[in-house]
Amino acid sequence: MVKIGDIELPDFPLLLAPMEDVSDPPFRALCKEQGADVVYTEFVSSEGLIRNAAKSVMKLDIYEKERPVGIQIFGANLDSMLQTIDIVEKSNPDIIDINFGCPVKKVVSKGAGAGILKDICLMERLTAEMVKRTNLPVTVKTRLGWDDDTKYVVETAERLQDIGIEAISIHGRTRKQMYKGEADWTLIGEVKNNSRMRIPVFGNGDVDSGPKAMEYRNKYGVDGIMIGRASIGYPWIFNEIKHYFKTGEHMAKPSVTNRVEAVRNHLTWAMGF
């Protein structure tokens, strides 16, 4: 069994990654139905939230059928991030996740997301104060480093653990790589196999099938896998991976009827959520 704080998860949980304009409530509900063990919201701007921007506030909508669900926030200003914690708590999520991995220029240029990977000490200070601010479990999603010369994730993960985060998800690319090339899981494995690490370590990047998920689980020893792009338009990926783990066989692909039903549900929920 894997635990994030007091939240009990099955052995080797599968997590839906937070994705802008993708992981909204209807999509999260679909993924939950199809085997996702934990789902995360789209990332929410701390600056947008404290200014009551409609787009940011709307992302705080969560529903019972999604639990356990994490709200992910990003920012680089301590006061704004602490105010955001207070606002987010009112939505009663199970987890608060900090985005230290988004590589998009408009986020990075403000020192947020993966931009903070240029200043690990600031990353540590921000996280420490946010952990102190809430009784909810705080988790972090990050990358290997800013570029090939700054892959400090093994040390960084340990430092973040020691100031109180309850789990870490690591995307196997640097910020400079964006989403290009192949994800390097070697350092993710080093984080997990660091004898000082006690919290769950989840790997993220390029997992798109049961065989690959099993290969990465066995090779790198991670506690679970976070699925992002492979789930877009295909929420069945979670149950397919679980079926492969259980039987060693590929699950039948969803029929046209299954797909139409999923599309109908997504539309219905989007209209009615």
**CATH number of the domain enclosing 95:** 3.20.20.70
3-state helix, strand, coil in the chain (%, to 5): 45, 15, 40
Task: Give residue 248's pLDDT.
Answer: 92
β-sheet bridge partners, residue 13: none
- How many Cβ atoms from other residues are within 10 Å of residue 233's Cβ? 13
Question: Angle between the 153-162 and 120-133 helix axes, to the nearest 10 degrees?
Answer: 30
Report how far apart, in Å, the C-alpha atoms of 88 and of each of 43, 83, 245, 249 are: 12, 9, 35, 41
Host domain of residue 31: 2-272
Catalytic-role residue among 102, 114, 170, 262:
102
Number of domains in the chain: 1
Q: Are strands 44-45 and 69-74 parallel, antiparallel or unpaired?
A: parallel
Residue-by-residue pLDDT tens, the chain, 273 positions: 899 999 999 999 999 999 988 889 999 999 999 999 999 999 998 998 888 887 888 888 888 889 999 999 999 899 999 999 999 999 999 999 999 988 888 888 788 888 899 999 999 999 999 999 999 999 999 999 999 899 999 999 999 999 999 999 999 999 988 888 889 999 999 999 999 999 999 999 999 999 999 999 999 999 999 999 999 999 999 999 999 999 999 988 988 888 888 788 778 877 775
The pTM score is 0.93
Which one-letter amino acid corresponds to residue 190?
E
> Is there a contact between 7 and 94 (Cβ–Cβ < 8 Å)?
yes
Burial of 214 by CB count in 10 Å (0-12 exposed, 13-18 middle, 19+ buried)? Answer: middle
Residue with tokens 């006061």: 79
Task: Give residue 219's pLDDT.
Answer: 97
> Is there a contact between 100 and 76 (Cβ–Cβ < 8 Å)?
no
Which one-letter amino acid corresponds to residue 245?
F
Is 102 assigned a catalytic role? yes
Report how far apart, in Å, the C-alpha atoms of 180 and of each of 173, 174, 176 are: 8, 10, 9
* Rounded Cα–Cα distance for residues 135 and 125 (Å): 18
Instruction: Report the Cα–Cα distance between both ends of the chain, in Å, rounded.
Output: 32
